[in-house]
Structure formats: structure tokens, C-alpha cells
Structure 1
Amino acid sequence: MFSSLDVDIRPGQGLGMFHLGTSLWNVMDLLRRMQHAFPLVDVKFDPDSSITPIILHIRPHLDLLFSGHHQRLHTICLRRLRDPNPPVTLKYKDTTLSSSEEVLRRVGVSRTFGPTYPGDDLRYPGVSFTFEEDGRSDGLSGPPSQREDRMQEVKRIIIAQKCLDGEVRDELDEVCECPAMFGEIQRAVVRVHDGVTLYFFPSSTESVQIRIGVSTAQDLSCDLGSPLRVHYKEDDRMTIHSRKGNTDDDTDTDYFYNYLQHGIDFLISGSTHVVKKIILHSNVPGTALFQRYKRCPWEIEGQPEDDEDETPPRIKFYDRVDDISHFLNPGDTPASMLLDRTDDEDGLTLPSPKTRLLGFDGIILEATETAQVVAVMLF
């Protein structure tokens, strides 16, 4: 652990190494690489929802709240400023607000940030200061004297995005587009038997279309950059279910481009170097694949009603598997196969480790026992 936690506060933008708008995958990857500094991290979420807000509690000082749909850092809470394990030094620009020798009080906040509106807390654009450990007053202490009020000790500091033009935003709203998102996928539109179109931040960025049987490994490198990993295909267990007589259709020369930072895998032919399959990951908390990939916010596009229909129907990653199955095939739900990803992971135990694989024409869904779709595969 650090001998001290030295952080600068940036209202509306972040705190120390944490930037609002950063993805959960990036933040947890950072914490994993800095286990010596942050050895105790609790992950809190609702296991019954794929779009649950997620809280990372980094003991003892930090709580990081991530939005439910896109898993981006929404709010940062710094608390227990006087806890010496480790001691906190907090700065704003060139001013030291709090340290092991200096207590941050109401009067210090006012001197640094200026006047604000009346209320129990001191609120400014992008940052607020509260004087109760849990943010709530029990109402039993009575009104403090003017001097006692000035000397109130700050117990919690909350950093969130600035609201534009006085806009009132819900605490669980999605994060507004900001520089921390640039270069990352905003949404991925899936078309069965075709491929996927990727839309990036900022919104003005041109989209990228990747087509099965058409796009090449070189196209991927040009459009998406180098993959974080290249993995040569060795697992042929699924070929036993193939309807083709030749089970060597996927040879050992095929390889994956793993874009963990985008939540996408591409299986590429070892002979033609053309994309054969595309796998998009939902990064659902509590599953075996959680945090191996960043969430890819995919949506499956259906057939337009007619040639003039410019808004064909779509179903999204957070919809229940039964709804997606009905969207893909309004008839009977296909038989499913069970997969336990913990079989290959010694020491990994999960409350519900098994997922179901549901196959349709051109697409396979992988879903949990709670009907959350953790991945889709196009072929």
C-alpha cells in the first residue's frame, strides 16, 4: 500500500488517477496492476441485472460508482480523510486542502472555492463537500453556532460531471460524452449473416464496418489498431456438433484477434486471413468472463418492414434472452447446451457458473441462468 495517498481534485473531471467517463474495464485493469497500492477492493452490484450500477469500494478512502448501461465512471466519493491508513493529501490546483497536518473545514472550502448556495452541504459545479460520514444528518445535534459552522470538518467529497445550463441529472444517468471515452465503442450494430458496424466516441467519428467472409486481418489492424492478443485456435470441441461431414473445417491455423479493450474477438482464417466469426462480450458482473473484456454495447438489427423503413427494429444486450430469442426466431426456442467456463479455471468458483448456448441461423447466444446474455457469436 502507498505510504500516503496524494490526489488532486478536478471538479467535473476526476480525482487523482481516476477520470470520469473511464470504463470499468480500464479502471479495474489499473487497480489490478497496482495491487500493492490498492490491495482491498470490493465490487458491489445487483446479480439479477446486466445493467446494474457497479460500485468499487477501495478501502478505506474511495468509492467509485459506474453507470449501469455503459459501465463508465460516473461518480467518485473520497471519504475518511483523517484515516491514517494511508494518510490522504488532497490538493486543488496549487492549494493543499487536506493532509495529515491540515484538517479540511467548511471555512477552508469557502476560501478556496468561493460562495455557494445555502444548505447543509457545500455544492459547486462538479464537486460537493459534505459534513456527515454517510452524507445524512440525524437532525439531533441542533443548529451549530456560527463559529462551529465555520469549523465543521469535511467528511466526504463527491466529484461528478458538471451539469450543463442548470440541467438536473439523475444520479444514475449515463455519463455524458467526454474525452475519457474517445476512441472507444459507443455502440455495435449486429446484422446476422453480415457482420457488425462499430460506432465510436466522439460521435463525429466515422463508423467501421466489419463483414464476415469479406474483412481481412489487415482491415482489422487498419481500422481498430493492433489487437491486445493474438491467440491460435486450439479448442475444437464444438466440431462434434457440426452438421458438416468434414470436422476439420476450422483448422489449427485459424487464429483469434482479441480486442479486449473493445470487448470483441475475431476468428480469422489461417489460409485466407478473412474474418470467419465475430464474438461480442457484454461483461456481465458475476460471470466467468467478467472483466476479461470491456463491455461491447451491441444491438441486433432485424429486417426492416419495407424498403422505405429507415429505422429497422433492434434488440439490445441488456434484454432478456427469451426476448432476444423471440426476436431472432418468433417460433420455438431452440434446444440449448450447457457450458461451464469454470471447468478450465482451477480455483475459480461462482454461485452460478453454468451458461446456456442457444443456436440460431448465423448467430449463437450465451446466456446465464438469470437470462442475461453474456456474449453473442456471429458466423
Structure 2
Amino acid sequence: MISALDCDVRPGSGMGIFELGSSLWNVLDLLRRLQHSFPQVDIKYDTDAPSTTPIILHIRPHLDLLFSGKQQRLHTIVLGKLRLGDPPVTLRYKDMVLSSPEEVLKRIFISRTFGPTYPPPGDDLRADLRYPGVWFSFEEDGMGDGLKGIQSEDRMHEVKRVIVSQKELDGEHRDALGELVECAAMDGDISRVIVKVHEGVTLYFHPSRTKPVHIRIGETTAQDLTMDLGPPMRVHYKDDERMTIHAMSSASNNSEPSYFYNYFQHGLDFLLSPSHIVAKIILHSNIPGSPLFQRYKRCNWEIEGTPEDDEDDTPPRKRFYDRFETISHFLSPREPPPSMLLDRTDDEEAITLPSATTRLHGYDGIILEVSESSQVVTVMLF
């Protein structure tokens, strides 16, 4: 463990190594690489709504990172136990030390450093001090009744928690658990993917002015992918032939293997044929509790249906957080097709999950991998 936690506060932007708007995938990957510095990380989420639940990373003992439910973006950073816990905390603002093992952060120092702010409701002098993008709390979690000092001592109250979130515009009130406004930390990431069965996908990027990228099955080449998305994080040659037992015809005698381009940072895989053409596209939902959680970044996919008429510019769509039954009826109003059981932990003896198995449901041009809680964890286009 590190001997001390030293971080700077950047109102509306971030704190220490953490930047608001960063993806859950990137932050967990960073924490994994810094495991010697952050050895204890707990992941908390609502198991009844894993696809849309806000996620909290509790980095013991001082930090809580709140991620938005749908985009899985770092929404709020909370630093607590400023004077407690191990390692000790040093908090800075610009070139100034706000709090350290030797310096107690008090209300009067906050007012002198950040200036005046709007009075709290009811003129309660013991309430939090809120500034654009940062606020200071004088209460530990669930300890609001413990502050009963006399009024003359309010200015000397000790700050217990520091909270950083995006700045709100004048008169704006955002949902505390809502999605973030587009920011620099998102640049280069995929914002959403429109899926068209039998055709391919359209990728939309941050910032929103970026030109979308179209990837078409049977047309887009490996070179096209590299030009549009950059080189893949991994190239994996297809050597798993277990599914060929279900094939109607014998396997091809082509000596050249198919291979995958894995873009973990986008939540996408592409299967390329021996002739280097995209044959399949796989999109990952990164749902907490599923076997592939955190292997891929969340891909915010939407399956697009056929418009009602030529003038309809808002065709129907089903999204990653819709339940399987809804998406299945959207793809085929008839009864769901027979499913196949898949256990992704068969080769992972060290992994134990409460819901390790998923089911594969095949439709014309698309396969859905579905968890026991009816969440679609992957979409495969072919």
C-alpha cells in the first residue's frame, strides 16, 4: 500500500488520478495496474437492475467513485475520512494544501480559499458549502444528527467529505444519478452504436461533431477497420470449432484461418474471414455480474427496426437495457427460438459467479446472449 494518498481537487473536472467522464472500464483497468496503491476495491450495484444500475467503486478507506447507470461514466468523486484511515490523505487545490495529517480543513479556510457562496436553504450555517463543481460536507455518511455545536463555533467546523461533480449551468438542476454532459474525458470513445440486422453497424463517437463510421458485413475490410478505429488491442485467430457440430454442411477446407480483431476499449469484436472481410460483429453490454464483465467496455448498442413508412425518420429501436423478452418480440413476434446453454467459466476454475451460465438465442442474422436475469450481454451479427 502507498504510504500516503496525495491528490489535487479540480472542481467540475476531477480529483487526483480520476477524471470525471472516464469510463468504468478505463478506471477499473487503471486500478488494476495500480493494485499496489489501491489494494482494496469493492464494486457495488443493484443486482435487480444490473444493466442500468449506477455503480459505486469503494476504494478503501477514503474514496467512493459513482458511475452513471447507462453510460458507465464517472459521475461523482467522494473523498472522505480526511483525518482517519490508513493511508493518510493530503488534499490540494492548485498550489495550496487544503488538508493533510498536520492540517485540519475547516469551514473558515474553505470560505477564505473559495470565496462566498449561496446560503443554504433555511440559512443553516452547519450545512454543506457548495461551489460550482465541488462541495464540502461537515457530516460523515449518516451522521447528520451528530453536529450540534453552538453557532459561534460553526466557522471552525471540520470538513469530513469533499465531493466533486460536473458544474451545472445557471438555473440548471441535474439528476444526481443521471448521465453526464459530454466532456473531454470522453473524446475518442464511442457514444452509441446503431445496429442494422443483415447490414452492419454505425458507430457514433465523442465529441458529437465527429463523423460516424459505417461497418458493413461482407464489405468492410481489415484495413478499413484499422483506418477507422486504429489497430485492435488484440488479434485472435479462431481455433474454437466446437460449434461446427451444429453446422448443416462440412467445414471449409480453406487452410487460411478466420481471425478476430478485439477492440476491448470499444466493446466490439470483429470476425474477419480468410479474405480479410468482416464476417461477424460482436457487441458487448458489460453488465455487472456477468462472466465477461470488465473484459470489454460497455457498447451502447441500439437495434434498429424497419421504419413504418418512407417518411418515418425515427425508426423503432431496442436498446441494451431492454429485457430479452422485449427485444425477442421486436426481432420476431413469434415464439422465441430454441436456445443453447453457454458457460463461459468452464475453462476458468478460479472464477465463481452466482449466474455463470447464459443462453444463446438465434434469429435471422443475429444472435443474442442472454443472462439468467433476462439481460442481453452480447449481440452477434452475421
- TM-score, normalised on structure 1? 0.97
**1:241 Cα deviation from its structure 2 partner:** 1.5
The correspondence of residues 97-108 of structure 1 with structure 2, limited to 5 A, is 97-108=98-109
Identify the residue that residue 112 of structure 1 maps to in structure 2.
Answer: 113
- Find 1:122's aligned residue among 114, 125, 129: 129
Counterpart secondary structure, 2:193: strand
RMSD: 1.3
Name the CA distance, whole Å, in 2 between partners of 1:252 and 1:332: 39
Cα gap change, 1:205/1:250 in structure 2, threshold over 3 Å: closer, same or farther? farther
Counterpart secondary structure, 2:349: coil
Identify the residue that residue 190 of structure 1 maps to in structure 2.
Answer: 195
Counterpart secondary structure, 2:265: coil
Contact residue 202 and residue 214 of structure 2 kept, 8 A: yes
- Aligned amino acid, residue 252 of structure 2: D
Cα gap change, 1:142/1:110 in structure 2, threshold over 3 Å: closer, same or farther? same
Identify the residue that residue 206 of structure 1 maps to in structure 2.
Answer: 211
Cα gap change, 1:376/1:75 in structure 2, threshold over 3 Å: closer, same or farther? same
Identify the residue that residue 170 of structure 1 maps to in structure 2.
Answer: 175
Q: What percentage of aligned pairs have identical amino acids?
A: 67
Structure 1: runs of 5 or more not aligned:
none
The correspondence of residues 75-154 of structure 1 with structure 2, limited to 5 A, is 75-119=76-120, 120-134=127-141, 136-138=143-145, 141-142=147-148, 144-146=150-152, 148-154=153-159
Name the CA distance, whole Å, in 2 between partners of 1:296 and 1:133: 36
Contact residue 61 and residue 85 of structure 2 kept, 8 A: no
**1:144 Cα deviation from its structure 2 partner:** 2.0
Identify the residue that residue 186 of structure 2 maps to in structure 1.
Answer: 181
User: Does 2:306 match 1:303?
Assistant: yes
Identify the residue that residue 235 of structure 2 maps to in structure 1.
Answer: 230
Name the CA distance, whole Å, in 1 between partners of 2:309 and 2:15: 51
Name the CA distance, whole Å, in 1 between partners of 2:195 and 2:202: 7
Bigger Cα displacement from structure 2, 49-58 vs 249-258 = 249-258
Residues 260-291 of structure 1: per-residue CA shift (max 9 Å, x gap): 00000000012x10000000000000011000
Identify the residue that residue 345 of structure 2 maps to in structure 1.
Answer: 342
User: Does 2:50 match 1:44?
Assistant: no
Counterpart secondary structure, 1:158: strand
Identify the residue that residue 263 of structure 1 maps to in structure 2.
Answer: 267
Contact residue 42 and residue 58 of structure 2 kept, 8 A: yes
Residues 160-203 of structure 1: per-residue CA shift (max 9 Å, x gap): 00001220111011011000001001100000000000000000
Contact residue 234 and residue 252 of structure 1 kept, 8 A: no
Counterpart secondary structure, 1:319: coil
Contact residue 139 and residue 147 of structure 2 kept, 8 A: no
Cα gap change, 1:30/1:304 in structure 2, threshold over 3 Å: closer, same or farther? same
User: Does 2:372 match 1:366?
Assistant: no
Cα gap change, 1:168/1:217 in structure 2, threshold over 3 Å: closer, same or farther? same
Structure 2: runs of 5 or more not aligned:
121-126
User: Does 2:4 match 1:4?
Assistant: yes
**1:71 Cα deviation from its structure 2 partner:** 0.2
Name the CA distance, whole Å, in 2 between partners of 1:332 and 1:324: 12
Identify the residue that residue 67 of structure 1 maps to in structure 2.
Answer: 68
Cα gap change, 1:18/1:253 in structure 2, threshold over 3 Å: closer, same or farther? same
Cα gap change, 1:362/1:325 in structure 2, threshold over 3 Å: closer, same or farther? same
